[in-house]
Amino acid sequence: MFRTALRNVSAHKARLLMTAFAVMLGVTFITGSLVYGDSLHRAATAEATAGYERIAVDVAPDGPQAGGPAGIDARTVRTLAKLPGVAAAAGRVDGFAAVADRAGKLIGDGTSSQGGNFAPAADGKDPAYRFTEGSGPTGKDTIALDGTTAAKGGYRVGDTVRVGTDQGAASYTLNGIFRTDGTKLPSGGSLTLFTGATAQKLFLQAGRYQHVELTATPDTDVTRLLSRVESVLPKGTSAVTGARLAQIKANLATHDSDTMSQILVGFAAVALFVATFLISNTFTMLVARRTRELALMRAVGATRKQVRRILLVESLLVGAIASVTGLAVGTGVAGLLQALFAPADAPAAPLVLTPGTVIISLLAGTLLPMVAAWLPIRRAMAIPPVAALSTAEQTAPARAGSLRTGLSAALAVTGTVTVVYGALTTAKDARTVIGIGAALTLTGVIGLIPLLSRPFVTLLKPLLTRLAPVHGDLAARNTVRDPRRTGATATALAIALTLASGLSVLGASASQYLDRATTHALSADYVIKPAGGRQMTAATTEPLKKLPGATYSPLDQSTAYRLGGVSSVLTGVDPAHIGQLLRYDVIEGSLDNLAKGQIAVADFKADQAGWHVGQTLPLQRQNDKPGSVTIGAVYRADEQSDLMPSITAPDSLIARYDSAPTTHAILVATHGGPSRTALAAVTHALGDNPALTVLDQDGIRAQDSSGIGEQLNVFYALLSMALAIAALGIANTLAMSVLERRKEIGTLRALGLDRAGVTRMIRLEALLLGTLGATLGTVMGIFLGWALGRTLQQSVVGYELVLPWGRLGLGVVIALAGALLASFWPARRAARVDIPAAITAQ
């Protein structure tokens, strides 16, 4: 049986090529995803733990120290340095430090902009840093930069560098350029070294350190050293070994890589699912073409079980060959995935091919064809040998498809009702309900596509016959000749378009909501935000006092309040100017009451707590003495808005309870409105600080929506694999159809249909298949996008359904273009059919 299956695969290798290629693509994708994830995981672990081998023990406070000085004092550092087995004790101070390039722009995005202290040992070197140019900082006006940041900024030793911290911005002389490890410099970040005294002034306070790194002398037992360290530590301080720190850092560093790997594997599963339809369709056509051959085998003594085994072995061989090829190609594609998805400054990751990846890829690629081929083989075995030998082509007896059609219709209706129920309900598990309904609907529609193909083609037939009377009519008839084949081919395309359309609808709706939520309530010309999503201090607004004609107000957030027994966050504003900077849609009361020491509350907050204008509420922050405050206004607000506060309070009230509130944004209106001159004036007034970003409304809109656009582009790129497999399915179906209709095509040629006419007919068939799949996929995608969007409307005020006609149309155009490209080879093959040989074929 194995030899027979091997000969059959060799004899039908051209027909199985597309199937093998589809399996190979799916295995390539899943192999590349797994190899990429493992490689990135190992690289992130190596980077995060690099350098911890030099740290024997690390000492740090257990947490914030209330009522006392922060950090560890210099006396403790000296005590630790004198312990037996300690080679050196380096006190470390770390904080936020943003570096500007020569144009004054921030280098990086600010999320990993770090500053630290240079802590030289007795030999004048700090073991954490290896200098390639110059040396460490030697005075309060000097710094050192990591090599990557210096290269991005175009800096050399001796240049002047502008650096911004939470204490403001200043210019420093670059004294050295260094390399370091993952303990100090996160991937993609920047690191600025200051002298110890300067770093303490900027990030902590004089004479204090955030933690202490201890290096051990040779042959020192780290466990014993840890015990000696713990015996001399002051209260509220603890120690941990460098090995334990490395383990903690590794766990934190691999979270993002694990998430991306899971997303890629999910899309690889979609690609394999789409490939299932291509494989099943191919084996259906292959088995139908070989009905007489299989019947002859049965007639000469082969049992039904033996024939079934031969066909399953054929599918196994195809899957095995494709899997091995996909495994090899996928390993190489992992390098491409690193280039596409890994951050530009991410560490170089050697490709990691684990035994688990090999097993999963080979199993997926070999078992999938066998599962997909089972139903066509089972149907073929139902044909009696005598009936198969009596004609040139037989099909398995069908029962009018009533059971399949009825079950599919029931699933589609049940799924649709479930999705609608999930969309309209307010339950917390609404999205789970929608997910279950979507699976049922998709399954039902897949089963109904063969039934839907005939009326769909009938609907489009007048358009085809108007464009090409003869060729359009032939294409329409050929498309509906085998509804199951047409349905299986269109299904692959429909699945890909469903996902792409659904993502487009959700992305467009979310982008419009974010645009409205962030800019609708904004009257100010500019919003000042700290880089990297950090918080500012009240001192940041001081330079704006010197800006002529400017009106500004910080949004000072103060937490840990109990207002009317409800945990609350108060946002302090300048009562005199906030009405000119934010559009408050006041429902009840007046915003002028802020000047009287009263507060204004967002409608959703008032509804949740049952508050109203004129009500006096008890107010207490942490352990302060209790007080009270009166509600002076209620206004409409979006609970998800980044700018509009839930509780607006006068800054004088905040100052009474909180001496150091954090500021997440400063609103500024300039004299004469926004302009390049005004933007430059605001930036200069802030000290040309790279740690602060000055955004106009367009900048805010771009910043808030950029993340959604980037994520959608990644998902579209991943879905392109499913679209490619769907296009292969169309090409394979048409190619097999040409083989089945060889005699028919030869007869048409003999009757006068030229090669161009045959080519046009095949291409019109491809367009019909593409249109059917694209239409169903787009409709289902819009439906599911609407349903998921409805769940957001319950918690996101102002979210509305947006249909991105441009993106949806582009998806349909891409699908049709893919179908047309897929028809080139089958059309060319059909046009070159040998007329005499085709007419005499059996």
3-state secondary structure 88-104: EEEEECEEECEEECCCC
Full residue range of the structural domain in which residue 42 is found = 1-55+244-397
pLDDT at 142 over 90: yes
The predicted pLDDT at position 592 comes to: 94
Q: Report pLDDT digits (tens) over 459-485.
A: 988 988 888 888 888 888 888 887 877
262 inside domain:
yes
438 inside domain:
no
Q: Report pLDDT digits (tens) over 708-719.
A: 666 677 677 667
**Which residue type is seen at 694?**
V
* Domain stop point among 243, 271, 288: 243
pLDDT at 219 over 50: yes
350 inside domain:
yes
pLDDT at 110 over 90: no
Same structural domain for residues 206 and 60?
Answer: yes
Please check whether residue 664 is in contact with residue 528, taking contact to mean a CB–CB distance below 8 angstroms.
Answer: no
Same structural domain for residues 184 and 104?
Answer: yes
Same structural domain for residues 98 and 123?
Answer: yes
| Domains of the chain: total | 4
The predicted pLDDT at position 12 comes to: 59
The predicted pLDDT at position 395 comes to: 45
The predicted pLDDT at position 397 comes to: 42
Burial of 158 (0-12, 13-18, 19+ CB in 10 A): exposed
The predicted pLDDT at position 399 comes to: 45
Please check whether residue 3 is in contact with residue 306, taking contact to mean a CB–CB distance below 8 angstroms.
Answer: no
Same structural domain for residues 248 and 233?
Answer: no
Q: Which of 47-51, 236-240, 313-317, 357-361 has the lowest mean pLDDT?
A: 47-51
Residue 557 to residue 665: CA distance in whole angstroms: 10
* Domain stop point among 369, 397, 425: 397
Q: Report the chain's mean pLDDT, rounded to a whole number.
A: 83
Q: Report pLDDT digits (tens) over 741-755.
A: 778 888 888 888 888
The predicted pLDDT at position 789 comes to: 85
601 inside domain:
yes
The predicted pLDDT at position 367 comes to: 85
- What percentage of the chain reaches a pLDDT higher than 70? 84
- What percentage of the chain reaches a pLDDT higher than 90? 30
440 inside domain:
no
Q: Report pLDDT digits (tens) over 502-534.
A: 888 888 887 777 777 666 788 899 999 888 777
The predicted pLDDT at position 589 comes to: 94
Q: Report pLDDT digits (tens) over 49-68.
A: 777 788 899 999 986 654 45
Q: Report pLDDT digits (tens) over 678-731.
A: 999 999 898 889 989 898 888 877 776 666 666 677 677 667 767 777 787 788
Same structural domain for residues 770 and 670?
Answer: no
Greater confidence (260 vs 323) lies with 323
Same structural domain for residues 505 and 613?
Answer: no
pLDDT at 605 over 80: yes
Residue 784 to residue 789: CA distance in whole angstroms: 8
Same structural domain for residues 545 and 578?
Answer: yes
> Which residues, at least 6 apart from 348, have a Cβ–Cβ distance to it below 8 Å?
43
The predicted pLDDT at position 6 comes to: 62
The predicted pLDDT at position 612 comes to: 94
pLDDT band at residue 393 using 50, 70 and 90 as cut-offs: very low
pLDDT at 322 over 80: yes
Which H helix or E strand runs over 471?
helix 469-479
Q: Report pLDDT digits (tens) over 789-816.
A: 888 776 666 677 888 898 899 889 988 9
Cα 21 to Cα 5, 24, 48, 527: the distances in Å are 19, 5, 39, 53
88 inside domain:
yes
pLDDT at 146 over 90: yes
Same structural domain for residues 78 and 183?
Answer: yes
* Domain stop point among 210, 243, 276: 243
Average pLDDT rounded to a whole number, residues 811-826: 88
437 inside domain:
no
Same structural domain for residues 354 and 486?
Answer: no
* Tokens (6 digits) for 278: 């291509």
**Which of 315, 337, 319 has the alpha carbon at shortest distance from 327?**
319
727 inside domain:
yes
> Which residues, at least 6 apart from 2, have a Cβ–Cβ distance to it below 8 Å?
313
pLDDT at 654 over 60: yes
Same structural domain for residues 632 and 671?
Answer: yes
Same structural domain for residues 633 and 496?
Answer: no
Q: What DSSP line would sit under 390-421, residue for residue? A: HSS-------TTHHHHHHHHHHHHHHHHHHHH
Greater confidence (537 vs 54) lies with 54
Same structural domain for residues 622 and 730?
Answer: no
Greater confidence (701 vs 148) lies with 148
pLDDT at 342 over 70: no
